[in-house]
Structure formats: C-alpha cells, structure tokens
Amino acid sequence: MYELKDKELIFVFTGPNGAGRRTVAQMSGSTLGIKQVLSYTTRAPRPAELDGQDYHFVTMEEFKAAEERNEFIEVIELAGNRYGIKEQDVADMVQKYGTVYLVLNRHGAETLKELYGERIVRIFIYADRDTILKREQERGDTQELIDRNMSQYDIELDYKDQCEHVFENLDLAHTVFDLTKALDENYLHRKLLDLD
C-alpha cells in the first residue's frame, strides 16, 4: 500500500446519490486544478456519461481479472454491478499531482479513511429528499434507479457528522464557491480566489 506523504491529500466526496457530488467535485476540481481518480465499473454508461471522464467502464470479465490480481483497494456491488478503485491509480496520481479527489459512497469513504487516515478529507454533499427526487426525475433516471437511491438515502445521510466538511448543495454556484474557498484556505493555500 502506497503511504501518503505529509503534503499529499485525497479529497473524498460522499453523500446521498443525486445530491450533486460529482457535479460539485468536478467544478471545484476544475477551479482548483485537482484531478479525479476514477472508479472502474461494470455498469453501462448512462446518457451523457463518458468512459475516462465519469468512470472507467469495463466488462465483468475485465473487472474480475483485475480483482483476482488484487488491484482494487475496495470493491462494492450494487444492483449486480461492481465498482472499485485501483490502488495503483491512487498511488500514481497522488505522486504525480500531490492532491486528488474521488467520488464514493459511504462504504468507500470509510474504507479510504481507515487505509489513509488523516490524509483523507471527507466532503459531504447533501440535499433534501424532494430536491434529489426532482433532480433525478429531470435527469431522466429510471424509477428503479430513483427507488434504489432513495432506499440508501438515510444510510448515506447518517454519515454526515463524521465527515470533515459538510455542504448542503442547493444553489450550485454557492456550493462550489464555498467549497472551493474552504479547500483553498484549509489545505491548498493557492489563493486562487478573490475572496472579497
């Protein structure tokens, strides 16, 4: 296991599905010049999702082969699909960029915290159930997917108080501004933003 050095950090965006974790993470990452370590998944891409941008989309055979080679830090299975982060990807990107981010569910955030300790900064993004429902319907998610996400809502929300930073994501621009400011002030010290 790669041991993270003093200045190396991993931001883990977590919270209920549909709260806007990926959107907020990608916008903040782009503002701050921080790259994402992508998960591998066997699920099919949804409309507007791209291989190499949202996930590494792989076949079950490819995933199982990588699993047998012990390449994943952790693996989860949801609705028959597997998801995992490769240890080598984390090590390579942290060594190259110093700071990276991931978007994971509660299980993934807990696992990374156990493995990498204080080098992990958990950022909890949430919204109320009705807001998430509306966003998922507008995005065209299937009822099956919406029901699955909603069934996990309370479990994911219960993780809020254990995370280092918590942001309610209602107005997107405000969320990204507040988050970017917090990460810059607390960890990055790049002074990229005009904070007045």
Ligand X SMILES: Nc1ncnc2c1ncn2[C@@H]1O[C@H](COP(=O)(O)OP(=O)(O)OP(=O)(O)O)[C@@H](O)[C@H]1O
At 35, which amino acid appears?
A: K
Q: Considering the rule CB under 6 A, would residue 129 count as an interface residue with ligand X?
A: no
Give φ, ψ of 3 to 5 degrees: -95, 120
Tokens of 128: 């109320």
Out of 104, 121, 123, 127, the residue judged to bind ligand LQESDW3C by CB under 6 A:
104
Binding mask 60-99 for ligand LQESDW3C (x = CB under 6 A): --------------x-x-x----xxx--------------
Residue among 74 and 128 whose Cβ is closer to ligand LQESDW3C: 74
Number of residues that bind ligand X (CB under 6 A): 15
**Backbone CA torsion sign across 7, 10, 13, 14:** negative
Tokens of 94: 């942290």
104 binds, among ligand X, ligand LQESDW3C, none (CB under 5 to 8 A by kind): ligand LQESDW3C
Q: How far apart are CA 101 and CA 122, in angstroms?
A: 10
Q: Considering the rule CB under 6 A, would residue 135 count as an interface residue with ligand X?
A: yes
Q: How far apart are CA 57 and CA 20, in angstroms?
A: 21
Residue among 142 and 186 whose Cβ is closer to ligand LQESDW3C: 142
Q: Considering the rule CB under 6 A, would residue 18 count as an interface residue with ligand X?
A: yes
CB of 194 to ligand LQESDW3C, least distance (A): 32
Q: How far apart are CA 152 and CA 166, in angstroms?
A: 18
CB-based contact 183:101 (threshold 8 Å): no
Q: Considering the rule CB under 6 A, would residue 106 count as an interface residue with ligand X?
A: no
Tokens of 77: 């299975």
Q: Considering the rule CB under 6 A, would residue 23 count as an interface residue with ligand X?
A: yes
Give 36-53 as a DSSP string.
E-PPEE-SPPPTT--BTT
Catalog residues that contact ligand X under the rule CB under 6 A: 17-23, 103, 135, 139, 169-172, 175
Catalog residues that contact ligand LQESDW3C under the rule CB under 6 A: 17, 39, 43, 74, 76, 78, 83-85, 103-105, 107-108
